[in-house]
Amino acid sequence: MKPTLRQSIQRLGIVDVHEHHMPELLLNRDVSLLQLFRQSYAGWTQARPYPLPFETRTGDPMLADAGPTTWAALTPFLEHSGSSMFVRNLVGAVTSLYGDGEPAITRKNWRALDTAVRKNHRRPDWCQTVLRRAGIERVITDPYNDPLLDAPRALGNNYLSVMRLNAFACGWHPDACDHNGNRGHALLRRCGVQPDSFGAYLRGLEKVVEGLAARQQVALKNALAYDRDVAFDEPDEKLARRAWGQPSPSPAERKAFSDLIVDRFCKLAGERDVPVQMHLGTALIRGSHPLTAAGLFERHPRTRFLLMHLAYPWSRDLLGLAFVYRNLWLDLTWSLLLSPSHFKLALHEAIEVLPDESRLMIGGDNWHVEETYGAMQWARRLIGEVLEEKVASGYFRREDAERLARKILRENAIRFFKLEGSE
């Protein structure tokens, strides 16, 4: 019997264009059930892990010690936040990977699940085993703890990384850092650049981009929506220069400095045909609306931007942008973990409005492989449901749906990041 569309989508290999898999977590052999909740989007239900402009923080709460797994420590997730999709995804993944058929984490089974998590993570091959079970062939990771990480060397041959540019855009002073605690000056020095003047700093960015290939990095990543607004305006070099060397420049000087750095990176990326991934939506939500970034896309028509998360909650505005500007591609990452029902609605529209079939890609956006496993199960299911609905309504044929599914899960990413023949 011929498999259903959903079944054939289950069997497709995935090229996962966005994760936060990093050595600190992936190579840790001491992982507990509670850690999976703390170091995942489920953790975001208890406390937002990034500061808003009026807040400060000392370290990254997601990388802090979780403490021992107890029923009392699990109930805030499982009961108080049990309705959140972030929790639903992780519960589904944990019980499917470690459980005995019971689809819930309960007072009765939590100890056995915790033991199974710990036991399996002691195996050095466990993370790769979970990726294989999820049908993931390649992973492009954003290891923000070390933006210059050579991911294949650190994590395995099926990994590649992107270079987060935030620290460079916040590097007006040697001690200035981005929200992840990275300093632009220190990163430049690691690339062999002495940033002892504003001019040397700017020229050094070219060397950073030239070094991408040697570090096996396939794109730049702009996650500045967590540091500032995304209105990356026409650079004002004079104002940007006034920020240089100051421990605490004015907001206007800071903005001009990072506007200039982002513009330089986008120009260098366009000249070298290196894609730029960009976070849009939520984050510092007063300034993360996708339309405010339109100037950047217009000034760099040769640069290929991969815009993330369906710019939730402004997915329709994002689709409008991607309809108008032909240098935009969309990474559906995270949007399905925020809201599967909104994801389906937006995917229906995206299929209809985007100019061609190359524009959509998928990722997990997770820290541990369990969460990635769950995200990809959901991705297959939701994409399958949307495509089945499209076929049932007569929008297109099953063959068209199958071709599009292969492109979204795998082929578009291979072409976009030029992964053919690379291993």
Closest approach of Cβ 18 to Zn ion, in Å? 6
Q: Of all residues in this chain, which one has the CB nearest to Zn ion in the complex?
A: 365
Q: Of 226, 218, 238, nearest to 169 (Cα)?
A: 226
* Closest CB to Zn ion among residues 135, 281: 281
Q: How far is the CB of 363 from Zn ion (least distance, A)?
A: 8
- What is the 3 state secondary structure string of 51-79? CCCCCCCCCCHHHCCCCCCCHHHHHHHHH
Instruction: Indicate whether 331 belongs to the interface with Zn ion (CB under 5 A).
Output: no
CB 204 within 8 A of CB 195: yes
- Residue closer to Zn ion by CB (options 365, 371) is 365
Helix %, strand %, coil % of the chain (to 5): 50, 10, 40
Residue 182 CB, nearest approach to Zn ion (Å): 15
The residue among 228 and 255 lying less far from Zn ion, judged by its C-beta, is 228
Choices 181-189, 248-256, 336-344, 362-370; region in contact with Zn ion by CB under 5 A: 362-370
Q: Burial code of 189-222, b = ≥16 C-beta within 10 A, e = fewer? A: eebebebeebeebbebbbebbebbeebbbbbbbb
Q: Which one of 114-122, 263-271, 298-306, 361-369 is the stretch in contact with Zn ion (CB under 5 A)? A: 361-369
Greatest CA span in the chain, whole angstroms?
70
Which residue lies nearer to Zn ion by CB, 281 or 384?
Answer: 281
How many binding residues for Zn ion (CB under 5 A)?
1
Between 69 and 222, name the residue whose CB sits nearer to Zn ion: 222
Residues with Cβ within 8 Å of residue 230, at least 6 apart in sequence: 224, 278, 280, 287, 288, 289, 290, 292, 293
Least distance in Å: CB of 335 to Zn ion? 12
Exposed (0-12), middle (13-18) or buried (19+): which is 381, by Cβ within 10 Å? middle
Closest CA to 368 of 177, 68, 181, 98: 98
Tell me the closest approach of the beta carbon of residue 50 to Zn ion, in angstroms: 11
Nearer to Zn ion, 5 or 276 (CB): 276
Nearer to Zn ion, 32 or 315 (CB): 315
Binding span for Zn ion by CB under 5 A among 40-48, 76-84, 227-235, 357-365: 357-365
- Output 227 or 365, the one with its CB closest to Zn ion: 365
Which residue lies nearer to Zn ion by CB, 114 or 365? 365
Binding mask 289-318 for Zn ion (x = CB under 5 A): ------------------------------
Shortest reach from residue 333's CB to Zn ion, in Å? 7
C-alpha closest to that of 93 among 146, 47, 130, 64: 130
Give the shortest CB-20-to-Zn ion separation in angstroms.
Answer: 6
Contact letters for Zn ion, residues 127-146 (x by CB under 5 A): --------------------
Q: Could you tell me the smallest distance in angstroms from the CB atom of residue 415 to Zn ion?
A: 22
Residue 137: phi and psi, rounded to 5, are -85, -45
Using CA atoms, how far apart are residues 304 and 287, in angstroms rounded to an integer? Answer: 22
Closest Cα to residue 339, out of 90, 88, 80? 88
d(CA 319, CA 346): 9
Rule CB under 5 A: say whether 365 interacts with Zn ion: yes
Instruction: Report, in angstroms and rounded to the nearest whole number, the Rg of the chain calculated over CA atoms.
Output: 21
Stretch that binds Zn ion, among 186-194, 205-213, 298-306, 359-367 (CB under 5 A): 359-367
> By the criterion CB under 5 A, which residues form the site for Zn ion?
365
